[in-house]
Structure 1
Amino acid sequence: MYFVMNLLGVLVVMGVIFLISPNRRGIKWKPIAVLLVTEVIITWFMLGTTVGMAIINKMAAFFTWLISCANAGTAFVFSSSMANKQVDFFFSALLPIIFIVTFFDILTYFGILTWLINKIGWVISKISGLPKLESFFAIQMMFLGNTEALAVIRDQLLVLKKHRLLTFGLMSMSSISGSIIGAYLTMVPATYVFAAIPLNCLNALLIASMLHPVDVTKEDDVVYVPPKEDKKDFFSTISNSMLVGIRMVIVIVAMVIGYVALTTCLNGILGFIYSGLTIEKIFSFIFSPFAYLFGLPAADAQYVAKLMGIKLATNEFVAMMDLKTHLHSLAPHTVAVVTTFLSSFANFSTAGMIYGTYNSILGDEKSAIIGKNVWKLLVSGMAVSLMSAMIVGLFVW
């Protein structure tokens, strides 16, 4: 029965997105079906085979090393802060963005990352029939995270037609940053964090194709490549990457502080109206039906709905810290679905981060496309998290 509920959940989420899509007639169903089949195969490979589990372990080791490199730079400047047992979010999650952007820009400079993304993106584009740049961006998010991926393709965003910019905003709600994977791994099982990464990226492509279907002509279906004469020397490139990284950190800090503060303010107002009422409780009530569609017993469904509300109203860190204290008492299926669901940036502050990133790259006029469609970003992010969690749930009982 629970398995049937979990399977039904996938269909319900897709049905809801279909009903609220402003352009239902423009949805291309063949790519949607191809992406779903691809996700099922990938999930089975990661969670059901020895080779898949070995790859996840290697990925965990690589990102742990990458973050340790970033932390070495942060510790040189903020040695006393990094020496604390509990490092602040600013130091552990945001400052590493400077190194992450620089590291992947170096790989791009030498053509390594470009080659890898092009090959995988080309495969995704061919099997799904979706545009090349959108397919490549989904793969970029798998390696970089959302704001970092936007920074890396900043030259491409500058030459895109306006109607396509929203697609990348919708997709950006659904990934996680390599700079904070290490922090996740201290709280929740690594297996489901790394399972969520590719699923979130493919589901971002799937949901965006339903929520904002866009026709891309053959002439526009290209990946922008800067002319060779525009390519800067190596040291200018990495210096510029570091400056891009710190600008992004500043923008993200402003957005996170502002949205968390607004949530606290709103909770105060709601509590004045009705004692104990918070935005988290309201969202947990809204998400309760979807928690049951994970295929969970009643007690677990109520707890998971609470975590879903906490994640949307604040962030996934707060929810994961709560989950960490309950892992031992939850069934394997519950742990799998809730960890996968929480392993993404889908919340109000992320919408602000994306708007801030667009604003820093594209300016006020073009970034308005994000400000006018915040509800679509939130729906997209939550739908992707639900889809990824439900697909993982099919394989863990």
Structure 2
Amino acid sequence: MYFLLNVLGVFVVMGVVFLCSPNKRKVKWRPVISLLVLELIITWIMLGTTIGSWVINKIASFFTWLIECASEGIAFVFPTAMANETVDFFFSALLPIIFVVTFFDILSYFGILTWIIDKVGWVISKVSRLPKLESFFSIQMMFLGNTEALAVIRDQLSVLKDNRLLTFGIMSMSSISGSIIGAYLSMVPAEYVFSAIPLNCLNALILVSILNPVHVPKEDDIIYVPPKSEKKDFFSTISNSMLVGMNMVIVILAMVIGYVALTAGLNGILGVIVNGLTIQKIFSFIFSPFAFLLGLPLQDAMYVAQLMGIKLATNEFVAMMDLKNHLDTLPPHTIAVATTFLTSFANFSTVGMIYGTYNSVLSEGKSAVIGKNVWKLLVSGIAVSLLSAMIVGLFVW
């Protein structure tokens, strides 16, 4: 029975997103079905064979190396902070943005990144029948994270229309950052973290195709290359990249602090109205039907719904720390779906991070498209996490 509920959940989530779509007639179902089949194959390979996890680990090790390089620079300026066993979010996740942006801007300077975007995007787009840039972005944010991935393609974003800019904002809700994978692995099982990463990216393509279908003419399905007249010398380029990265860190930091503080303030007001009431508890009741559709018994469903509420109102770290304390008492299926759901940045703070990134790398006018469509970002982020968890749940019992 629980397996059938899990299968039903996949269709319910996609149905809810379809009902939320303002352009239902423009939805193309062939790419959606193709990507769903691809996801089932990938999940089977990752959870049923050793080669899948080996490949993902090799890719992850590259990004771990990038973060280690960034940590060298951070440790030079903040040796005491980096020497602590528990490194703060500011040092572990935000400051590495400076080096990551610079590294990929160097690749762009020599034309390497542009070539990769064009070729890899072409392969993914052939499978999904979606535009090349969107297809590559879904892969790029697999380990880079939303803010870093958006910064890397900022030249591409600067020439896009609002409807496609919204697409990238919606997709950005479904990523994580390579800089914090290690922190995840210290709390929850590695196989489900690594399963969630590619599934989130492919599900982001699926759900954005339903929630915000965009037709891109063939002549517009290209990778923007800045003219030579705009190309600066190498050292000016990397210096500017570092400044762009630092500006992003400051903007994102302000957004995260503000949203977490607002949540705390809202909980204080709710607590006055009803003793013990919090926004997390409200979300847990809202999500309980979807948790049940993960193929969970009632008691486990209510617990996982609580984790969902904690993640959305605060962040995945708080929820993962709670899950870590219950791993010994939960069955494999519950652990698998809960871990997969929590492995993403989909929460209120992330909306602020995306808006801040658009505002810092583009312009205030272009970032307004995010502010006007916050609900689409939240629906997509939650739906992607649910869909990924449901697909993983099909293979773990």
- Both structures adopt the same fold (TM-score exceeding 0.5): yes
Q: Name the structure 1 match of 2:344.
A: 344
Query: Structure 1 residues 187 and 111, CA, compared in 2 at 3 Å: closer, same or farther?
Result: farther
Cα distance in structure 2, aligned partners of 1:109 and 1:184: 33
Query: Structure 1 residues 62 and 153, CA, compared in 2 at 3 Å: closer, same or farther?
Result: closer
Q: Name the structure 1 match of 2:51.
A: 51
Cα-Cα RMSD: 1.5
For the pair 1:368 / 2:368, whether they are aligned, the reply is: yes
Check conservation: 1:67, 1:182, Cα contact below 8 A: no
Check conservation: 1:171, 1:205, Cα contact below 8 A: yes
- How many residues are paired up? 397
Q: Name the structure 1 match of 2:164.
A: 164
Q: Name the structure 2 match of 1:131.
A: 131
For the pair 1:387 / 2:384, whether they are aligned, the reply is: no
Alignment of 1:75-224 (within 5 A): 75-224=75-224
Check conservation: 1:63, 1:181, Cα contact below 8 A: no
Q: Which amino acid aligns with 1:199?
A: L
Cα distance in structure 2, aligned partners of 1:366 and 1:57: 37
Q: Which amino acid aligns with 2:7?
A: L
Give 3-state SS (helix, strand or coil) of 1:173's partner: helix
Cα distance in structure 1, aligned partners of 2:191 and 2:108: 28
For the pair 1:331 / 2:331, whether they are aligned, the reply is: yes
More off after superposition, 104-113 vs 367-376: 104-113
1:20-57 alpha-carbon deviations (Å, 9 max, x no partner): 11111110111111111111111111111121122233
Structure 1 unaligned blocks of 5 or more: none
Query: Structure 1 residues 204 and 252, CA, compared in 2 at 3 Å: closer, same or farther?
Result: same
Deviation at residue 394 of structure 1 after TM alignment: 1.0
Q: Name the structure 1 match of 2:30.
A: 30
Cα distance in structure 2, aligned partners of 1:117 and 1:45: 25
Check conservation: 2:143, 2:176, Cα contact below 8 A: no
Deviation at residue 246 of structure 1 after TM alignment: 0.8
Q: Which amino acid aligns with 2:6?
A: N
Q: Name the structure 1 match of 2:318.
A: 318
Give 3-state SS (helix, strand or coil) of 1:346's partner: coil
Cα distance in structure 2, aligned partners of 1:235 and 1:147: 23
Cα distance in structure 2, aligned partners of 1:221 and 1:62: 29
Cα distance in structure 2, aligned partners of 1:62 and 1:156: 24
Check conservation: 2:117, 2:133, Cα contact below 8 A: no
Check conservation: 2:114, 2:225, Cα contact below 8 A: no
Identity among equivalent pairs (%)? 78
Check conservation: 2:60, 2:178, Cα contact below 8 A: no
Give 3-state SS (helix, strand or coil) of 1:396's partner: coil
Cα distance in structure 1, aligned partners of 2:95 and 2:197: 21
More off after superposition, 194-203 vs 222-231: 222-231
Alignment TM-score, normalising by the size of structure 2: 0.96
Deviation at residue 229 of structure 1 after TM alignment: 4.3
Deviation at residue 152 of structure 1 after TM alignment: 0.8
Q: Name the structure 2 match of 1:227.
A: 227
More off after superposition, 67-76 vs 276-285: 67-76
Cα distance in structure 1, aligned partners of 2:218 and 2:308: 40
Deviation at residue 129 of structure 1 after TM alignment: 1.3
Cα distance in structure 2, aligned partners of 1:21 and 1:230: 39
1:178-205 alpha-carbon deviations (Å, 9 max, x no partner): 2222222221222221211111111111
Deviation at residue 384 of structure 1 after TM alignment: 0.6
Cα distance in structure 2, aligned partners of 1:335 and 1:81: 33
Q: Which amino acid aligns with 1:355?
A: Y
Cα distance in structure 2, aligned partners of 1:22 and 1:384: 18
Cα distance in structure 2, aligned partners of 1:223 and 1:64: 28
Alignment of 1:211-360 (within 5 A): 211-360=211-360
